[in-house]
Amino acid sequence: MKKQQIGACVLAFFVIVGTACKKDPPPQPDVVDAGTHATLTPAVPAGNGAHGKELVLSFQCNRCHDGTGHPAADSGKHCVHCHEDIIEGRFKAPEASMTRWIPRVKDIQYAPSLTAMDKRVTRAFIEDYLLQPSPHFRPGLVQSMPRLALTVADARDIAAYLHPEADAPKVAAQPGDKVADLDLGRKVLDGKGCGSCHTMTGTAALVVSPIPVTLAQKDFAKAKALAPDLRFTRDRTTAASVSTWLKSPKAMKSDSVMPDIPLTDAEIAAATAYIMKADVAALQPKLVPARLPVLTRKVTYEEVDKKVFHRTCWHCHSEPDYAIGDGGPGNSGGLGFKPRGLNLVSYEGMTAGMVDDKGERSSVFAKEKDETPVMVRALINRYAEEAGGPTGEHRGMPLGYPALSLEEIQLVESWIAQGRPRG
């Protein structure tokens, strides 16, 4: 087993079911039976679910997620399963390699399954999230959903596959509609262990109380990592779904990592009301940081390769031998992307450039109108994606990973500015 084979299993393209948090959601109306009051929003347009199922496979969602309706990718190419095998000692590799890999993958070993999406979130939410993913929804996860090469029609078809029934119209609250006790709802969240896993941004911090059920440490760690920020629940689902979930998560989603918490009907109603209607403080927008000035000291290829290219970029832009036969999606294609032929394993491979949409070779060091090299622009754009803003034609890199540090981007930009010295 070659040590380079870790390349394929460290592809952290974690497609998370979350919400774009670039701005505060508008106040949500009470959810009542459809037809009782005036309709506020129309149903989401229908999509082609059969085509959506094909897209889920072509975008290789099964390399990260269970519950896709397709067989899981082989263990060596399934990002999450591979990481789990490394951490639990099942991956066959030299002990020295395992020791080096475990710290790198221990925080990127979870991805939520897509089981029962139609019961847990709205179709409109799935479509919106696919088009503009955000890493903020699950604060316990290091991973973030990559911005895939999806059209609006693609996102609609995938949403129709994962959520076959169209969303019920939202309806306005009317005078006399009964509202559960929000104070009781807060007491339920604080007293039933919810704060042990969840946050609710914009409210006072949830109390970290004991979970009233027995949960193995391994299961608790996974549940905490996948626990969503409750603030955004109202953006992605309905009060009815929340109530059903609180009654029994596992009845709604068979592979749920959240345990069934003993709650009375009154407690469920109150907790649902608090999650869906409690006042929350305004979110502060996430800003794209300014780049650091280029370094005046000499920067060599050896340094930037060790600290950036060979530590992160080569996972997706490598030779076949480094990625169990496929070279990574940034080289030979994958995850719905065309083959770009960009090999960052060696100096020669990097300077050979990439294949553009016209099928011609182009340099990743070419400068844009503002003199920013294309490679640097891609690294900066990852910050813009994380902030929920536009990025233009260049997708943020590293795909599906947190943005590189400003110091790492500074190193890359300084090396390019100095003429890309080899030694």
Tell me the pLDDT tens digit for each residue of 100-113.
888 877 767 888 99
Q: How confident is the model at residue 39 (pLDDT cuts 50, 70, 90)?
A: very low
Looking at residue 418, its pLDDT comes to 97
Residue 19 scores a pLDDT above 60: no
Residue 324's pLDDT is what? 57
Token pair of 376 as six digits:
């640097």
What domains can be seen in the chain, in order of their start residue? 3-162 (no CATH), 182-277 (1.10.760.10), 301-417 (no CATH)
What pTM value is reported for the model? 0.81
The rounded distance, in Å, linking the Cα atoms of 320 and 103 is 25
What pLDDT shows up at residue 25? 40
277 vs 203, 231, 268, 281, CA distance in Å? Answer: 12, 10, 14, 12
**pLDDT tens digits for range 49-78:** 999 999 999 999 998 899 999 998 887 778
Map tokens 């689902």 to a residue: 237
Distance of CA 229 to the CA centre of its chain: 14
- Tens digits of per-residue pLDDT, 212-263? 998 888 899 999 999 999 999 999 999 999 999 999 999 999 999 999 999 9
What letters, b where the CB count within 10 A reaches 16 and e where it falls short, cover 236-267? bbbbebbbbbbeebeebbeebbbbebebeeeb
Indicate the DSSP class of residue 290: P
- Angle between helical axes of 406-417 and 374-386 (0-180°, round to 10): 160
| Window from 131-145, 345-359, 362-376 with minimum mean pLDDT | 131-145
Report how far apart the first and last C-alpha atoms of the chain are (Å, whole number). Answer: 31
Q: Which of 198, 148, 185, 358 is nearest to 267 (CA)?
A: 185
Question: H helices then E strands: how many in the chain?
Answer: 17, 2
**Overall average pLDDT of the 286-309 stretch:** 94
Burial class (CB in 10 A: 0-12, 13-18, 19+), 216: exposed
- With cut-offs at 50, 70 and 90, classify the pLDDT of residue 322: low
- Give me the pLDDT at residue 23, please: 40
